[in-house]
Amino acid sequence: MHTNPAPGTPLTVIAVSNMLGDIFDCALALGLPVRRIVLNQPEVLRERTISYRDRLAMLPEAPQVLELADYAPEPGEACVLGTTAPKRDALVAELIGRFGVSEVAGSAGLRFVTLVHPSATISPFARLGRGVFVNAGAVIGPNAVLGDHVFVNRGVTVGHDTRVGAWSRLQPGCNVGGHIAIGEGVMVGMGASVIEELVVGAGSVVAAGAAVIADVPERVLVAGVPAAVRKQL
């Protein structure tokens, strides 16, 4: 089961990236006001990247923007990560070390919450960890288990009885079958498919459009149809 924060719960977004618009979209759909944006490092802008400041204009009210050094949790706030960068686990570990973890709204400590877009379909028998984000149109099957801070992008399907390790990223339109074990820190690329009963080792990357029909070792890049190991990571 999963529970979104109650409508009206103030939301703090920690770290920014191109996924900020997706966070805002989900927050607005759930009735969660975005109150604070916490910057942990300088923003990297590419040719077609929209800056976080431009994205703030999407919101009905401008949130407070502050540096990580000036941040402290406020009573009642819910927190989400605004980045899927590979080293976000170190950021969360730093924050928990400073503030501890809050399990209940209003108690002291950092409260990372799970956000599920209203258009996603989550089985009542699925289990979602702390800080999971499920984007629009995703489908999570019965008895699936998503570890902490897993990011599920638009239109992803996760089959029954599949386990996805913490910090993993499932990119738009990928299909993950049933009875699969995905390790921590895995990325499954856009439009890729992983057939049922397989293991994808921790830290590995499945390239966009790949068709995985055999187990994937740890910390490798696989690509192609059928997918094959291209390099060690």
What the block records as the tokens of 225 is 């149809």
Q: Are 216 and 199 in contact (CB under 8 A)?
A: yes
Mean pLDDT of the chain: 94
Q: How confident is the model at residue 86 (pLDDT cuts 50, 70, 90)?
A: confident
Distance CA 82, CA 191 (A): 23
Give the residue among 28, 23, 88 at the shortest CA–CA distance from 61: 28
**β-strand 199-200 against 220-223: which pairing, if any?**
unpaired
pLDDT at 75: 87
Sequence ranges of the domains in the chain: 11-99, 115-232
What's the alpha-carbon Rg for the chain, to the nearest Å? 17
pLDDT at 49: 84
Q: How confident is the model at residue 106 (pLDDT cuts 50, 70, 90)?
A: low
Higher-scoring residue by pLDDT: 164, 17: 164
Distance CA 146, CA 173 (A): 17
Per residue in 43-56, pLDDT (tens digit) is 888 888 889 899 99
- Dihedral (C-alpha) 102, 107, 108, 109: value to the nearest 10 degrees? 20
Distance CA 28, CA 8 (A): 10
Q: Which CATH code fits 115-232?
A: 2.160.10.10
Is the pLDDT at 202 greater than 90? The verdict is yes
The three-state (H, E, C) secondary structure of 151-179, written as one string: EECCCCEECCCCEECCCCEECCCCEECCC
Choice among 2, 117, 160, 179 that is catalytic: 160
Model confidence, pTM: 0.94
Whether 117 is catalytic: no
Distance CA 226, CA 39 (A): 41
